[in-house]
Amino acid sequence: MPVATFSNSKKASSSLSKWRDYTLAEAASFVAKNGTLIVCAVSQPYLPFLNNWLISITRQKHQEKVLVIAEDYATLYKVNEKWPGHAGFFNFTSRRPQHLLKILELGYNVMYNDVDMVWLRDPFPYLEGNHDVYFTDDMAAVCGSLPASSGSIPNRRIILQEPDMGAANQGNARH
């Protein structure tokens, strides 16, 4: 995976037409490995962090599982300029809970990461076991990583009982 600096200094010349051709299911199937996706959501103010985050994941050899959710068009243009045509970058313009729920409904395991953190080690060996959700945080109100499994019975209950969870949380997004 080419890792290039995501700075806000240049205007991107890329077209949005490439991104309209991808559905969530297509993008997820393109990057999922062993049923697992590593997902982040990025808006323009967080673009400088994206490069470091991608480098840290590349060092742990998990870059092929990455799905980046562009939360605004400026981010979409920049990502398309630096990594053109890569289906792992998928254009979403609403909030993460809805997207994470949709990915779980597609049957994937999801590790959500904020891009203002980096991987010092491969976290996957620590995620072994028969658990539904793992959380880490650096503050009481912010979760930096959330791996979830779609196949577990409690998660299937969440998917069935909370179909509007994204809409309810949309006003609480911190970006």
Nearest to 62 by CA among 87, 30, 38: 38
Of 120, 175, 170, 111, the closest CA to residue 146 belongs to 111
Token pair 């080690």 in the structure block, residue: 121
CB distance 89 to 37 below 8 Å:
no
Distance CA(62)–CA(156), nearest Å, equals: 26
Residues 6+ apart with CB under 8 A from 157: none
Q: Rounded to 5 degrees, what angle do the CA atoms 107, 117, 156 make?
A: 20
Global pTM reads: 0.64
pLDDT, one tens digit for every residue, the chain (175 residues): 434 444 344 444 444 445 555 788 888 998 999 999 999 988 888 888 998 999 999 999 999 999 988 888 888 777 777 765 554 455 544 466 788 888 999 999 888 888 988 899 998 888 877 777 766 665 555 444 555 555 554 444 444 433 444 444 444 444 3
